[in-house]
Each structure stands twice: as structure tokens, then as C-alpha cells.
Amino acid sequence: MATMENLIGLVNRIQRACTVLGDYGGGDNSFSSLWEALPSVAVVGGQSSGKSSVLESIVGRDFLPRGSGIVTRRPLVLQLHKIDDGSEEYAEFLHIPRRKFTNFAYVRQEIQDETDRVTGKTKQISPVPIHLSIYSPNVVNLTLIDLPGLTKFAVEGQPESIAQDIETMVRSYVEKPNSIILAISPANQDIATSDAIKLAREVDPTGERTFGVLTKLDLMDKGTNALDVLEGRSYRLQRPWVGIVNRSQADINKNTNMTVARRKEQEYFATSPDYAHLASKMGSEYLAKLLSKHLESVIRSRIPSITSLINKTIDELESEMDHLGRPIAVDAGAQLYTILELCRAFDKIFKEHLDGGRPGGDR
Ligand code: GDP
Ligand code: NA
Ligand code: MG
């Protein structure tokens, strides 16, 4: 049903509008509760485990700073919006609202610059997120959060507390019950030592909101395979494990494009004696669909609570718009209006959905 996709799209836009308003009215308002009630996907793993690469594969574009060492130093809240109006793919940052980026090399540069603006050109981290939206016909509606990699040691230029600081930051995202955890582990390291799994196990002991992702399958020692992990025998999760082959550093240096990389990844699974029987459930394209579907079912099951929050927000916004008891900036006023419209649209679609049959039911 097209309706469900519209709902996720709306949820995305509501989240975005809530973010724009930020702590308008002082932090603890219905916008922040609404944002918290909506699910998003947090990408968690050790340094260089392949987090940014997995995100890029899901988006199907090159746009993230990548490489060895600590590259991701601020959370990146990435919202994917599927568009069908025939317009071209573009990206937009919350901190530069009126600029549309169509060249993704500039997106990468801006992420770097904006990171440096807050942290300086250091190896330090900051919990202040960067918000980026990508509008494209080729994405599924999703909110993904790229986070600094978990690490054990400080390197030169970092405070001794860095490992703990990163863990605290990552934890603040994944401990929220509405957070879906994308736990990234590299296949060329023992899964028992995976930082991602260790943290996921702590915050989600039943494994109901954790998706295990195994990267670097191509880098395993010859004669070994990852079937014990992928088939759930090493570490059991309620969700399926997904194996991934991202671009290697050599591929990146050669500028191998994303379409070629995805095709190579599919070929890798289809022709592998170890993994051919799992090929249809492996790879980044499959992962993107799996996540979107999961998000859909989470939203579906939360429709009653989301709707009541939305109705509360509508009430608050309507009285706010009526009285405008205090002067508000033009921009804030416009955003309030946007949220109001989006909330009404959500409410309307939800009611149609109800009329169409099974509220919150499964397919
Ligand atoms: P992050 O630090 O977790 O965000 O990791 P990155 O995505 O930046 O990847 C770190 C390095 O590992 C890069 O040089 C990638 O090219 C490489 N890499 C990531 N995933 C794979 C993979 O599946 N196979 C291979 N061969 N290299 C990978
Ligand atoms: Na890295
Ligand atoms: Mg990274």
C-alpha cells in the first residue's frame, strides 16, 4: 500500500521540521517528544569497521568523509526522502537551509568543514549533530545516524577520556527504545570482540531492535567463512544478519563508482561457494530494503501513540498560532505552520488507513 510509504515520508518530514525548531520553547516541548517517539537507525561500530561505507551504500552515493583513523567526529543525522516528482537528486544541510547541493563532493567537504567549525582541526569529538537531508528518487525513506567509531585508546591530540566520551555519546543514541541499532562488525575480526555487539547487547539484551551487519567478508582469511555469524549461530539476534562487501580503500582510490560497487557486491555473493545460498539476503541494497520495511512495521505498531502525540502537538500549535502570545521569528512561525500541516496530513492518512481496514495490523 502506497499509504505506508507516505506515512514514513511524513514521519521523516515531521522529524525534520521538529529539528528545525530545535529547542524552540525551551527543549522539553512536544516537538522533542515527537522526535523521540519516531524511530531512527543508529549506526554503531568500532573505528574503521565500515560504518560510513555502509551508509554510503544504502544511499547509493559517495558523500561521506572516509578513511583510517577517527574521521566521523560529530553525529551525522541523515534523512533520506524519496521523491517522485521527477526532480534531480539533491542534498541540504540544516545549517545552510537555502543551498541545494547537487554535487556530492561538496557535501563531503561541507561535512568536514562543519565538523571542524565545532571541534577545530583536531581529533576531538563533539556531540552536536550535523543534520543532512538527501532528496532522491533512488532512496528509501529512512533516518540514519552516523556516529564516531568506538575505540579503546586515545591517540595524540585526544584527551585520555576519548574512548569513554565516544561510548557515552553513542550510548545516548542507542539506549532510546525507539532507536534501531545497526551494529557493524568486520568479518576479519573475531565477533566475540566486536564493540558494536558488546554495546548492542547491553542496551538491547533481547536483540529485538538490533540488526547485525558483517562487513569486509572479502578480507577474511582464505579457507574461512562467516556462516556461523550470518546464520545466527555465533550470536543470536531476533533480526537477520546481513553480510556486506563495501569498496576497499583501493577501490576508493580508483574512484570505483557506487553502481559498479553494488554490482560487484551482488556478484560476490552470487558466485561465492560459501554464500550463494544466502545471496538474496545479503548486500547493501537488501539491507536498505530490510531497514525500511522494519521501520514501516515499527511505525505501524506505534501509530496509536504517535497519533496521540501528534494530536497533542496539533492542539498546542493551533493555540500557539491563534494567540501568538509572544513574538516569534518569521522562520519559527513558518516551521510551526509546516509541522501543523504535516501533523494534520499524518492524522488524515492514519484515519484513511484505519478506514481501509486493519489498524496497526500486520500484512
Ligand atoms: P568507519 O570508520 O567505520 O566509518 O569505516 P569506513 O567506512 O571509513 O571504512 C574504513 C576503511 O575500510 C576504508 O578504507 C574502506 O574502504 C574499508 N572497508 C570498509 N568496508 C569494507 C569491505 O567490506 N571490504 C573491504 N575490502 N574494505 C572495506
Ligand atoms: Na574511519
Ligand atoms: Mg566513519
- Provide the mean pLDDT of the chain: 84
CB–CB of 108/87 below 8 Å?
Answer: no
Q: What is the pLDDT of residue 26?
A: 42
Whose CA is closest to 214, among 295, 133, 278?
278
**216 vs 16, which has greater pLDDT?**
216
Residue 308, CA atoms < 13 Å, CB-side half-sphere: 3
What is the torsion angle, in degrees rounded to the nearest 10, for the CA atoms of residue 115, residue 119, residue 122 and residue 126? -90
Dist. CA 73 → ligand 2 center (Å): 10
Which residues have C-beta under 5 Å from ligand 2, the single-atom ion? 48, 71
**63 vs 67, which has greater pLDDT?**
63
Asked whether residue 62 carries a pLDDT value surpassing 70, the answer given is: yes
How many Å separate Cα 282 from the centre of its chain? 19
Q: What is the pLDDT of residue 357?
A: 43
Whose CA is closest to 35, among 58, 56, 12, 64?
12
Here the cell at position 194 is: 566486536
Average pLDDT (210-214) is 97
pLDDT tens for 263-280 read 999 999 999 999 999 999
Q: What is the pLDDT of residue 281?
A: 97
Verdict on whether the full-model pTM lies above 0.95: no
Residue nearest atom 10 in ligand 1 by C-alpha distance: 48
Dist. CA 1 → ligand 2 center (Å): 39
> Positive or negative, the Cα torsion across 235, 239, 244, 246?
negative
66 lines ligand 1 (CB under 6 A): yes
Asked whether residue 332 carries a pLDDT value surpassing 70, the answer given is: no
Asked whether residue 358 carries a pLDDT value surpassing 70, the answer given is: no
Which segments of 154-239 are extended strands (E)?
Answer: 179-186, 210-215
Average pLDDT (42-61) is 92
Ligand nearest to the CA of 70: 2
Residue nearest atom 8 in ligand 1 by C-alpha distance: 66
ipTM: 0.97
**333 vs 358, which has greater pLDDT?**
333
136 lines ligand 1 (CB under 6 A): no
Asked whether residue 261 carries a pLDDT value surpassing 80, the answer given is: yes
> What atom of ligand 1 comes closest to residue 252's alpha carbon?
16
Q: Which amino acid makes up residue 209?
A: R
Dist. CA 248 → ligand 1 center (Å): 6
Dist. CA 215 → ligand 2 center (Å): 13
44, 52, 53, best to mutate for ligand 1 pocket (most atoms within 8 Å of CB): 53
Under DSSP, is residue 277 helix (H, G, I), strand (E, B) or coil? helix
Q: What is the pLDDT of residue 295?
A: 84
Asked whether residue 330 carries a pLDDT value surpassing 60, the answer given is: no
